[in-house]
């Protein structure tokens, strides 16, 4: 009992001593308190306050309340740094010294951070601009900057080859693309503004390097989109809104390829900029007309530049200037061993491998856009645009006469100017109204200077002395359009977009059309989405390609043609689309999409002269239909995609520009539906990437069942496959002079499956082309 009493007494003494020590410590501790205000003296709430000791280590944290006040209790005596940070403000620091039982008080003033404000305003305006372009009811395939960087050639991948990785896109000669059975008919937009199309040529008018995000829309499009409707290539460019930097890229390899590219971006207060450019050359500018590994006379020099500058006038308004230029020169490749067909000055001998035909292309554009929002219901963008495009074909003055009986110096130029206005008004939670107008004036010039031989009615040469026939013409044309539509959210699961579009053309012919559009998106389940749509389309022919030349002046020469030349008309069509997207897991999404298009005056294009410039013509009726399957997989460091498309594209009875065709073809086509020259029964694309640490292994590929060939396109070419392989390594050295850079190595047509894309036969096909042989390229990209 006595022992228990002693133990209890000792415990009581120890407890009393501990309590006294704690009370002494609390008496010695202090409180650091204060207030945080902005430069105008207003309190800053929810600011983060960190107390740091003499070593810079944080010892306590607090938040400011609604009146900007904070308090940190139980602070041991000492000197502390009080660091304050708040969203939208630059940080601030003050010194607080405490002693035993004495509190410290500080007041901090935060200045507004212009950089953060600019970023917030730029993002708000980007969202408003993107909201001007609906996608309801259409099929959308998206490419991010990361997706492009991961391709084997990265940002050195030409834009047309990036689009080949989308479903339903078929490859053709001279870099052409065909989407869902249409001949070209693609519309390009940069930051929501339509970029007028250039004269058709071999080079790409836009560099993949400028892309931050690219959406590819097909199917039944909303009323926003007109004129070129097979596919909408909607590019959102890189900007300098998020900081300063740039890259320098060197790329080269097979076919004596060397290309140097770079870009720079940044911002200064409300002003931001992005500039890029590239220059390069190689010996495979155009597809090889033979199956040999190296093309003859196929050198090209290409260069481009792009710029985007924007200035935020106020938090709700921004003005932007976008401009670009592309200049390309091409040698036209030759085929050795061809026999001559005509006689010049008593001579019939000429080595076809020595032909010297060339073509130069220039494309320039500029856009000034005023874009803004009222921060609530209304968004708008008003854009003024201009574009100048020029193509010059230079013949071999001797060789072309000996082989073709015609040596044509062909110059085309086209200047387009116009205005585009798009607005969005959110009426309420259920209805979003959109409306806009578009106007474009074009002026085209054609100078076609021909040297030809006199000939009889059957085309037989009458003299070996050529004569010259100059032929020049010009034309000014106009396009007008207006649209209005309503995006109606009937339920949380169902959204319908319906509207009307009016289009009018006043060019070589005058026509107009009022086109209804309707599309819907229905979320059947959290993982299943259905879209469907109907669109009435009005598609004018490419004005810069429709020449008003007088073909009668070629009568009695080796350039004579039939006299029938009805004007090329706009295509009118009904388009139906239905698709389902199913998310099978968090990593895998699949989809299926079916479409049907019925056309009157179906537009197509062909190469009919010696110059490699395309000429439009119409089929009286046409039909396109097909189905597409897509699959996308993304899990951790593995990604993959696959697209498979089945399609049919047919036309009947050519009813314009008939002089380009032989009488037997015209008769056959007038009585039969024929496949269009770009029809391809099966088209597939696939690719993927695997990241192992700082190294990425990547591949992509295309498969086609073969384009059409033969008399009236009654035959088709063999199946072809091309697979490209690449490896990318990301280096990050601590040495500032080296820093970050990427190295890549790629194989084009890695399995060397040489294929014939064209054999020179078919409607509107002028020459054979082969796909590339195995080629090796490497590149270095330095990041600043």
DSSP states along 190-207: ETTEE-PPPPP-SS-SS-
**Last residue of one domain, picked from the residues 55, 88, 111:** 111
Which has the closest alpha carbon to 654: 671, 629, 679, 631?
Answer: 671
For residues 612 and 318, the model is more confident at: 318
Alpha-carbon separation of residue 760 from 346, 529, 533, 546, 648 (angstroms): 29, 44, 38, 23, 21
Which of 506, 439, 508 is CA-nearest to residue 473?
Answer: 508
Q: Is the pLDDT of residue 8 over 50?
A: no
The DSSP code sequence of 336-371 is: TTPPP-S-BTTB----GGG---EEEEEEEEEEEEEE
- Indicate if 44 and 161 belong to the same structural domain: no
- Cα angle 237, 199, 320 (rounded to 5 degrees) comes to 30
Verify that 644 and 761 share a domain, yes or no. Answer: yes
| Residue 143 and residue 74 share a domain | no
Counted residue by residue, the chain has a size of 784
| Beta bridge partner(s), residue 306 | 276, 324
Write out pLDDT tens, residues 33-84. Answer: 999 988 778 888 888 899 888 777 788 899 999 889 999 988 888 888 888 9
Mean pLDDT of the chain: 89
Residue 26 confidence (pLDDT) above 60: no
Residues 677 and 708 sit within 8 Å (Cβ to Cβ) = yes
Q: Considering the domain boundaries, does residue 763 fall inside one?
A: yes
Assign 1 a pLDDT band (cuts: 50, 70, 90): very low
Among the listed residues 424, 322, 408, the one whose alpha carbon sits nearest the alpha carbon of residue 373: 424
Residue 112 has pLDDT above 70, yes or no: no
378-394 vs 358-373, strand pairing mode: antiparallel
* Cβ atoms of 778 and 755 closer than 8 Å: no
Query: Does the residue 638 lie in any domain?
Result: yes
Percent of the chain's residues with pLDDT above 90 = 68
Residue 562 and residue 633 share a domain: yes
Asked whether residue 522 is assigned to any structural domain, the reply reads yes
**Cβ partners under 8 Å of residue 406, min gap 6:** 400, 450, 451, 452, 558, 559, 609, 610
CA distance 79 to 545: 79
Q: Stretch 130-137: mean pLDDT, rounded? A: 71
Which of 186, 198, 223 has the alpha carbon at shortest distance from 537? 223
Do 210 and 228 sit in the same domain of this protein?
A: yes
CA-CA-CA-CA dihedral for 232, 237, 242, 244, to nearest 10: 170
pLDDT for 2 equals 43
Q: What tens digit of pLDDT does each residue of 217-245 get?
A: 999 999 999 999 999 999 999 999 878 99
d(CA 601, CA 623): 11
Helices vs strands, H then E, count in the chain: 6, 41
CA distances for 746 relative to 160, 254, 705, 774, 775, angstroms: 18, 11, 25, 10, 8
Residue 116 is predicted with a pLDDT of: 54
- Rounded Cα–Cα distance for residues 361 and 303 (Å): 11
CB-based burial, 186-199: b 16+ in 10 Å, e otherwise: bbbbbbbbbbbbbb
Task: Report which of 664, 712, 454, 677 is spatially closest to residue 562, judged by C-alpha positions.
Answer: 664
Give residue 709's pLDDT: 94
Cβ proximity of 50 and 83 under 8 Å: yes
- Decide which of 80, 111, 142 is a domain's last residue: 111
* Per-residue confidence (pLDDT) for residue 5, from 0 to 100: 45
Please tell me whether residues 106 and 126 are part of one structural domain.
no
* pLDDT score recorded for residue 4: 43
**Does residue 116 lie within any of the structural domains?**
no
Q: 625 lies in a domain?
A: yes
- Model pLDDT, residue 127: 65
Is pLDDT at 520 greater than 70 in this prediction? yes
The residue with greater pLDDT, 175 or 248, is 248
> Mapping DSSP to helix (H, G, I), strand (E, B) and coil, where does residue 23 land?
helix
If pLDDT is split at 50, 70 and 90, which confidence band does 523 have? Answer: very high
Point out which residues pair with 604 in neighbouring strands: 617
Contact present, 113 and 89 (Cβ < 8 Å): yes
Residue 209 lies in a domain: yes
What's the structural domain count of the chain?
A: 2
The confidence score (pLDDT) of residue 452 equals 92
Please indicate, yes or no, whether residues 100 and 192 belong to a single structural domain of this protein: no
Q: Is residue 307 part of a domain?
A: yes
- Over residues 423-428, the mean pLDDT reads 93
- Identify whether residues 134 and 98 lie together within a single domain: no
pLDDT digit string, tens, across residues 630-677: 999 999 999 999 999 999 999 999 998 888 888 889 999 999 999 999
Q: 18 pLDDT exceeds 50? A: no
Average pLDDT estimate for 418-443: 95
Lowest-pLDDT range of 201-205, 248-252, 355-359, 468-472: 201-205
DSSP string, 300-331: EEEEEEEEEEEEEEETTEEEEEEEEEEEEEEE
Q: In angstroms, rounded to a whole number, what is the distance separating the alpha carbons of residues 81 and 86?
A: 17
Percent of residues, the chain, with pLDDT higher than 70 = 92
Asked whether the predicted pLDDT for residue 123 surpasses 80, the reply is no
Structure tokens at 92: 């601030």
Give the best-scoring range by mean pLDDT among 164-178, 667-681, 758-772: 667-681
Question: Can you give the pLDDT at residue 118?
Answer: 59
**pLDDT at residue number 21:** 43
Res 12 pLDDT > 60? no
Identify whether residues 262 and 284 lie together within a single domain.
yes
Q: What is the pLDDT of residue 136?
A: 79
Q: How confident is the model at residue 117 (pLDDT cuts 50, 70, 90)?
A: low
Indicate the residue among 59, 77, 111 that finishes a domain: 111
Would the pLDDT of 733 be above 90?
no
Name the strand (E) or helix (H) holding 629.
strand 615-635
**How is residue 90 written in tokens?**
């630059």
**Statement to judge: residues 595 and 717 lie in one domain:** yes
**Residue 246 reports pLDDT greater than 90:** yes
Q: Is the pLDDT of residue 135 over 80?
A: no
pLDDT of residue 20: 40
Instruction: Kindly state whether residues 160 and 52 are assigned to the same domain.
Output: no
Q: Which residues contact 589 (CB under 8 A, 6 or more apart)?
A: 581, 582, 583, 631, 632
CATH number of the CATH domain containing 48? 2.60.40.10
More confident residue, 275 or 550: 275
Is the domain of 469 the same as that of 612? yes
Between 287 and 175, the more confident residue is 287
Res 24: pLDDT: 42
pLDDT above 70 (res 200): no
Range in 5-9, 247-251, 680-684, 777-781 with the lowest mean pLDDT? 5-9
The domain that holds 596 is classified in CATH as 2.40.170.20
What CA–CA distance (Å, rounded) separates 364 from 354? 33
Q: List the single range of 493-502, 577-586, 604-613 with lowest mean pLDDT.
A: 604-613
Q: Categorize the per-residue pLDDT at 331 as very low, low, confident or very high, splitting at 50, 70 and 90.
A: very high
User: In the structure, what pLDDT confidence band is assigned to residue 397 with cuts at 50, 70 and 90?
Assistant: very high
Query: Average pLDDT for residues 582-607, to the nearest whole number?
Result: 93
Which range, of 59-68, 396-405, 431-440, 507-516, averages the lowest pLDDT?
Answer: 59-68
Domain membership of residue 6 as a residue range: 2-111
- The pLDDT of residue 6: 41
Residue 347 lies in a domain: yes
């Amino acid at each position: 009992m006595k022992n228990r009493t002693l133990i209890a007494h000792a415990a009581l003494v120890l407890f009393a001593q501990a309590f006294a020590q704690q009370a002494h410590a609390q008496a010695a501790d202090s409180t650091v308190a204060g207030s945080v205000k902005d430069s105008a003296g207003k309190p800053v709430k929810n600011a983060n306050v960190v107390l740091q000791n003499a070593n810079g280590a944080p010892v306590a944290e607090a938040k400011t309340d609604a009146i900007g006040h904070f308090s940190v209790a139980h602070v041991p005596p000492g000197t502390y740094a009080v660091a304050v940070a708040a969203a939208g403000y630059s940080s601030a620091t003050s010194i607080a010294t405490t002693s035993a039982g004495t509190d410290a008080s500080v007041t901090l003033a935060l200045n507004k951070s212009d950089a953060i404000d600019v970023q917030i305003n730029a993002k708000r305006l980007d969202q408003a601009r993107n909201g001007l372009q609906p996608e309801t009811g259409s099929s959308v395939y998206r490419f991010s900057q990361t997706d492009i960087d991961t391709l084997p050639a990265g940002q050195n991948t030409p834009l047309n080859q990036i689009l080949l990785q989308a479903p339903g896109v078929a490859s053709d000669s001279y870099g052409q693309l065909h989407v869902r059975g249409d001949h070209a008919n693609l519309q390009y937009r940069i930051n929501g503004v339509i970029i007028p199309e250039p004269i058709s040529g071999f080079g790409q008018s836009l560099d993949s390097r400028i892309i931050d995000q690219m959406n590819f829309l097909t199917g039944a499009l909303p009323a926003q989109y007109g004129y070129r409707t097979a596919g909408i290539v909607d590019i959102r460019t890189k900007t300098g809104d998020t900081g300063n930097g740039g890259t320098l890229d060197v790329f080269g390899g097979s076919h004596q390829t060397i290309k140097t590219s770079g870009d720079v971006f940044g911002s200064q207060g409300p002003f931001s900029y992005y500039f890029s450019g590239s220059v390069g050359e190689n010996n495979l500018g155009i597809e090889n007309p033979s199956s040999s590994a190296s093309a003859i006379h196929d050198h090209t020099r290409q260069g481009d530049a792009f710029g985007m500058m924007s200035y935020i006038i106020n938090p709700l308004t921004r003005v932007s200037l976008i401009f670009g230029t592309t200049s390309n020169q091409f040698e036209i490749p030759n085929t050795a061993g061809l026999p001559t067909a005509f006689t010049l000055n008593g001579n019939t001998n000429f080595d076809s491998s020595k032909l010297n035909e060339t073509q130069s292309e220039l494309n320039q554009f500029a856009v000034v856009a005023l874009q803004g929002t009222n921060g609530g219901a209304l968004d708008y963008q008003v854009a003024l645009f201009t574009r100048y495009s020029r193509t010059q074909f230079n013949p071999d003055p001797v060789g072309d006469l000996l082989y073709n009986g015609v040596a044509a110096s062909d110059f085309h130029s086209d200047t387009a100017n116009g205005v585009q206005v798009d607005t969005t008004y959110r009426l309420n939670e259920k209805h979003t109204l959109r409306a806009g107008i578009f106007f474009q004036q074009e002026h085209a010039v054609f100078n076609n200077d021909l040297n030809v031989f006199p000939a009889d009615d059957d085309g037989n040469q009458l003299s070996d002395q050529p004569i010259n026939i100059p032929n020049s013409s010009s034309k000014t044309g106009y396009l007008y359009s207006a649209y209005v539509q309503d995006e109606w959210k009937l339920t949380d699961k169902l959204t319908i977009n319906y509207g009307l579009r009016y289009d009018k053309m006043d060019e070589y012919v005058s026509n107009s059309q009022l086109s209804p559009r309707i599309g819907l998106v229905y979320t059947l389940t959290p993982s299943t989405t259905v879209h469907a749509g109907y669109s009435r389309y009005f598609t004018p022919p490419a004005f810069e390609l429709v020449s008003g030349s007088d073909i009668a002046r070629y009568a009695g020469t080796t350039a004579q043609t039939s006299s029938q030349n009805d004007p090329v008309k706009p295509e009118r069509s009904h388009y139906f689309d239905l698709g389902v997207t199913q998310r099978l897991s968090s990593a895998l999404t699949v989809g299926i999409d079916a479409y049907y298009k019925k056309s009157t005056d179906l537009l197509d294009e062909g190469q009919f002269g010696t110059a490699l410039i395309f000429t439009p013509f119409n089929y009286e009726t046409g039909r396109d239909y097909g189905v597409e399957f897509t699959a996308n997989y993304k899990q951790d460091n593995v990604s993959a995609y696959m697209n498979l498309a089945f399609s049919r594209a047919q036309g009947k009875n050519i009813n314009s520009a008939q002089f380009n065709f032989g009488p037997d073809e015209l008769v056959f086509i007038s009585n039969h539906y024929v496949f269009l020259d770009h029809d391809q029964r099966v088209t597939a694309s696939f690719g993927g990437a695997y990241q192992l640490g700082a190294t990425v292994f990547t591949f992509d590929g295309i498969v086609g069942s073969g384009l059409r060939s033969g008399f009236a396109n009654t035959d088709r070419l063999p199946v072809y496959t091309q697979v490209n392989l690449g490896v990318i390594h990301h280096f990050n050295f601590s040495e500032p002079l080296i820093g970050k850079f990427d190295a890549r190595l790629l194989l084009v047509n890695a399995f060397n499956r040489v294929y014939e894309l064209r054999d020179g036969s078919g409607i509107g096909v002028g020459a054979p082309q082969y796909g590339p042989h195995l080629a090796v390229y490497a590149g270095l990209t330095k990041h600043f």
